[in-house]
Structure formats: structure tokens, C-alpha cells
């Protein structure tokens, strides 16, 4: 494989402080002075300073990757802290970019950190990628995954890929000259709504650690030009079974972007490609809604209301309003447990699943059924501030 990093004159030496810092690298023949200088000259762009980006940036920074770019526009919130280890409790509310840069500088003051507070888009990706040697994809959505892949192919930059869901992860190195790209593996994204996101599905906190460190390892191997890169191989990580499996990936001779005769030769509209058209109206507006204050008032007044909770049992354990629990997925086969003559108020966490439940029940002939707008989160915000939110 062609050398990824050119050792520039300004990165051609290490100071005595740097030599001491990197001594455990320097005494390894696989790195040595030559490798450490390559690391210093290397420029890696991390897309996202979240679950995957945290361990990735921390290890790359500690290892002495000279220039670390980070693209992120998000703010740290409490639910990030369970896995996004570059951010601390005091950072809640701060820009992830600032919080991450501060930690990286604290670990390694020799780093050149470049912050890009922007949403990666078809307008800025190519220009941005050209300034880096390796792109590390730690995004959380399909449009950006395809954008990163295509921009890597078009600029000839390797895409160190990692992706996670609940307790399973994937990692690979895409878009090298000889290897396949993400589109060779998945020519098309799933239709919206068919694959749950981390926010809906949850994620085991250590998993982005495992996968992000694999991405960091691959980035460093590419820079050092040592070992066998994860090119043409998809590593599957199952943290529950603690199994690592490997699948063969081939370059698709008909790949729309990386084959000999590509049909995609410039960046496209990735939201459209992934079937996302602007800000879609939330589904819950289509069904009759009840506000939490109104529910509270009517319950207190002793109205005959049947509260149906369509979340999962493990969510019910976190907090509940004494609703009758039937998880959305079980509703079709348990609908006979409900009395259609009573007035029903369905709720979930934020209102999306219960909107589907209300829609289902109305189609099943239920007439007096409402969706609790904003779900139990709205209840916690506006009715019972003691209730935990998740």
C-alpha cells in the first residue's frame, strides 16, 4: 500500500520531551523513531466526538498523531457520559468540540488539534478531507456514513469505519486503493424507521470503547504501514458473547462509487438518498392527543381513564405512572386485554411509540383512545419533577 503520510520537515524531529513521552513506542522495532515521526506527521480527521470518537481521539492523541481534526456540532448532555469518556460531568452543556480538545491537550500538549464546528455535508466534506490523511468515521446516522464513504473514495482517503448497536459492533477499513468501500458492502441504506437508532435501541457503554479502540488501532497501523490492516474484512464484535468474527469483503465490480465505471462521481444529497426529506412531522400529530396536565387533572378528578403504557418492561422499572403495561410489539396479540368501551390514554417515553399504538388501536376499532403528548418525559417535566428521566 502507498505510504499515507509524508514526513514533513517540521515534523522531522522529536524534542527530548517528546522522546521521553513516546519512549515505549521508540523502543519497539515496529514503531521506532521512523514510525513515531510518521505518527507526528500524520493528520487524522475524527467525524464525531461521541461514543466512538472519544476513545479514538484519546488514543490517537496519546500515541502522538500530530494533527487531530474533529468535526462535531453537538453539546454534551448527561446521557452521553455513560460512554463518551472524553467528556466529564462538568462538561454537560459545553460544546463537545471544546470539551474534547481540552482533554486531548491535557493528555498531549504537542498535538495540533483542529476543531470543525459544523455538520459534515456534501458542500464541505471534500475540501475538509483533502487536508487529512485518514478519516475515522464515528457517526450515528446513515446519510453521514454514505457521505463519509463517498467523500473518502473521491479524495482517495482511507475510511476507518466503526459502527455500534446495543452490544454489537462492526469495524473495517474502507476506500483504500485496493480494498472495498462501504457501498461495496451496503449499496443502499435501509429505509428510515426500519433500523432503530442508539437513542431508541440503547447501547452498552463499553461497546464504543471496544470498537473505537479498534478504529484507533487501524488508523495507527495505516500510518505506520505495519501489520495487516482490516481491509477487505468486516470485523463483527459481540460484546455479550465476547466473540469476534470476521467476514470477507470484496470490492464490488459494479460498485456505484469505487468501481472502474462509477455512476457517482460527485457528492449527492445524502438525506434524499437515505429517504429522509427534511424535518418530517412527528407521527403523533396524526392521532388524538392528550396533554400531561389534562391527564393529571382528569386522574385526580377520578375520571374513568385506562392508562396504557406501551414501553418495555425494563423501562417500566425506571419510572411509571401505574399504567397497564403492554409493550408496543406485543399489542397485536394482547389487544383482547383492552376494553374498547373505556377511554384509553396510551403513553411511552416521548410519544412516538404510543402514537403507533393509538393508530393501531383506532384501526382495530377503538374509538376513545388518546396519545399522551410528550410521553412520560413530559409528565416528569411538567407534572412530577421527582420522576427520573432517561
Partner 1 sequence: MPKIHIPTPLRQYAGKQPDIEVKASTIGEALSGLVAQHPDLRRHLYTDEGKLRAFVNVYLNDEDVRYLQKEATAVKDGDSISIVPSIAGGRS
When binding is defined by CB under 8 A, the residue of 107, 113, 206, 236 that contacts partner 1 is: 236
Residue of 152, 184, 274, 348 with catalytic role:
348
Binding track, positions 17-56, relative to partner 1; x by CB under 8 A = ------------------------------xxxxxxx---
Is residue 274 flagged as an active site residue? Answer: no
Is residue 46 flagged as an active site residue? Answer: no
> Does 264 sit near partner 1 (CB under 8 A)?
no
Residues in CB range of 200: below 8 A, 6 or more apart: none
DSSP state of 8: -
Distances (CA, A) of 230 to 160, 253, 257: 9, 20, 20
Cβ 109 to partner 1 shortest distance, Å? 26
Query: What is 139-173 written as a DSSP string?
Result: -SSHHHHHHHHHHHHHHT--EEEEEEEBTEEEEEE
> Does 197 sit near partner 1 (CB under 8 A)?
yes
> Does 192 sit near partner 1 (CB under 8 A)?
no
When binding is defined by CB under 8 A, the residue of 91, 168, 289, 315 that contacts partner 1 is: 168
Residues in CB range of 350: below 8 A, 6 or more apart: 374, 375, 377, 378
When binding is defined by CB under 8 A, the residue of 195, 286, 318, 364 that contacts partner 1 is: 195
CB atoms within 10 A of CB 184: 23
**What cell does 123 get?**
458542500
> Does 164 sit near partner 1 (CB under 8 A)?
yes
Cβ 173 to partner 1 shortest distance, Å? 16
Q: Nearer to partner 1 by C-beta: 245 or 297?
A: 245
> Does 98 sit near partner 1 (CB under 8 A)?
no
When binding is defined by CB under 8 A, the residue of 93, 192, 201, 282 that contacts partner 1 is: 201
DSSP strand pairing (233-238 vs 243-248):
antiparallel
Q: Nearer to partner 1 by C-beta: 71 or 319?
A: 71
**What cell does 368 get?**
376513545
The residues in 328-357 that bind partner 1, with binding defined as CB under 8 A, are: 329
**If we measure between CA atoms, which residue out of 108, 138, 133, 292 comes closest to residue 223?**
133
When binding is defined by CB under 8 A, the residue of 24, 248, 281, 314 that contacts partner 1 is: 248
Which residues partner with 370 through β-bridges? 345
Distances (CA, A) of 161 to 44, 138, 187: 13, 7, 16
When binding is defined by CB under 8 A, the residue of 81, 92, 113, 198 that contacts partner 1 is: 198
**If we measure between CA atoms, which residue out of 20, 39, 29 comes closest to residue 224?**
39
Distances (CA, A) of 228 to 132, 159, 209, 232: 22, 16, 21, 11
Residues in CB range of 60: below 8 A, 6 or more apart: 44, 46, 68, 136, 216, 219, 220
Binding track, positions 267-306, relative to partner 1; x by CB under 8 A = ----------------------------------------
- The region of 58-66, 200-208, 264-272, 276-284 touching partner 1 under the rule CB under 8 A is 200-208
Q: How many of the chain's residues bind partner 1 (CB under 8 A)? A: 51
> Does 249 sit near partner 1 (CB under 8 A)?
yes
Q: Reading across the β-sheet that carries 369-372, which strands appear in turn?
A: 289-290, 369-372, 343-347, 305-309, 324-325
- The region of 106-114, 246-254, 278-286, 301-309 touching partner 1 under the rule CB under 8 A is 246-254
Chain contacts with partner 1 (rule: CB under 8 A): 47-53, 72, 74, 80, 137-142, 145, 162-168, 170, 185-190, 194-199, 201, 203, 208, 211, 234, 236, 241, 245-250, 329
Q: Which residues carry out catalysis?
A: 198, 348
Amino acid at each position: 500500500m502507498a505510504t499515507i503520510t509524508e514526513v514533513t520537515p517540521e515534523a522531522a524531529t522529536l524534542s527530548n520531551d517528546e522522546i521521553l513521552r513516546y519512549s515505549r513506542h521508540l523502543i519497539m522495532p515496529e514503531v521506532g523513531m521512523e514510525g513515531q515521526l510518521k505518527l507526528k506527521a500524520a493528520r487524522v480527521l475524527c467525524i464525531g466526538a461521541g461514543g466512538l470518537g472519544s476513545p479514538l481521539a484519546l488514543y490517537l492523541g496519546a500515541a502522538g498523531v500530530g494533527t487531530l481534526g474533529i468535526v462535531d456540532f453537538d453539546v454534551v448532555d448527561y446521557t452521553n457520559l455513560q460512554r463518551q469518556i472524553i467528556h466529564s460531568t462538568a462538561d454537560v452543556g459545553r460544546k463537545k468540540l471544546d470539551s474534547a480538545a481540552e482533554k486531548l491537550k491535557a493528555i498531549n500538549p504537542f498535538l495540533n488539534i483542529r476543531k470543525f464546528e459544523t455538520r459534515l455535508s456534501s458542500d464541505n466534506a471534500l475540501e475538509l478531507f483533502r487536508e487529512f490523511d485518514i478519516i475515522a468515521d464515528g457517526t450515528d446516522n446513515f446519510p453521514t456514513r454514505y457521505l463519509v464513504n463517498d467523500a473518502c473514495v473521491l479524495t482517495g482517503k482511507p475510511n476507518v469505519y466503526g459502527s455500534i448497536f446495543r452490544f454489537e459492533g462492526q469495524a473495517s477499513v474502507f476506500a483504500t486503493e485496493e480494498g472495498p468501500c462501504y457501498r461495496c458492502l451496503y449499496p443502499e441504506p435501509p429505509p428510515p424507521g426500519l433500523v432503530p437508532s442508539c437513542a431508541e435501541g440503547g447501547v452498552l457503554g463499553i461497546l464504543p470503547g471496544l470498537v473505537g479502540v479498534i478504529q484507533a488501532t487501524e488508523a495507527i497501523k495505516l500510518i505506520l504501514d505495519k501489520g495487516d490492516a482490516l481491509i477487505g474484512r468486516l470485523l463483527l464484535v459481540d460484546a455479550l458473547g465476547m466473540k469476534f468474527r470476521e467476514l470477507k469483503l470484496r470490492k464490488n465490480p459494479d460498485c456505484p462509487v469505487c468501481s472502474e465505471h462509477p455512476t457517482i462521481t460527485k457528492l449527492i444529497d445524502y438525506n434524499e438518498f437515505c429517504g429522509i426529506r427534511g424535518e418530517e412531522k412527528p407521527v403523533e400529530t396524526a392521532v388524538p392527543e392528550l396533554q400531561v396536565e389534562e391527564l393529571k387533572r382528569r386522574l385526580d378528578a377520578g375520571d374513568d381513564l385506562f392508562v396504557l403504557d406501551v414501553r418495555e418492561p425494563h423501562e417500566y422499572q425506571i419510572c411509571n405512572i401505574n399504567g397497564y403495561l403492554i409493550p408496543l410489539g406485543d399489542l397485536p396479540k394482547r389487544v383482547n386485554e383492552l376494553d374498547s368501551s373505556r377511554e384509553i390514554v396510551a403513553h411511552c417515553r416521548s410519544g412516538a411509540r404510543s402514537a403507533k399504538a393509538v393508530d393501531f388501536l383506532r384501526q382495530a376499532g377503538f374509538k376513545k383512545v388518546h396519545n399522551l403528548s410528550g410521553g412520560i418525559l413530559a409528565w416528569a417535566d411538567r407534572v412530577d419533577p421527582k420522576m427520573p428521566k432517561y
